[in-house]
Amino acid sequence: IIALMELAREQVKQQTGIELEPEIKLVGT
């Protein structure tokens, strides 16, 4: 599941140029 989150974050970063690190960390924990 962690890898999936990383993959999703990378895709979002490439598509929008915005990194949703805080949200990902919230979901991860």
Q: What is the pLDDT of residues 1-29, one digit of tens each?
A: 688 888 887 887 777 655 556 665 655 54
Structural contact between residues 2 and 24, judged by C-beta atoms closer than 8 angstroms: no
Give residue 3's identity as a one-letter amino acid code: A
Question: What's residue 14's pLDDT?
Answer: 72
Contacts of 2 (CB under 8 A, 6+ apart): 28
Question: What's residue 27's pLDDT?
Answer: 58
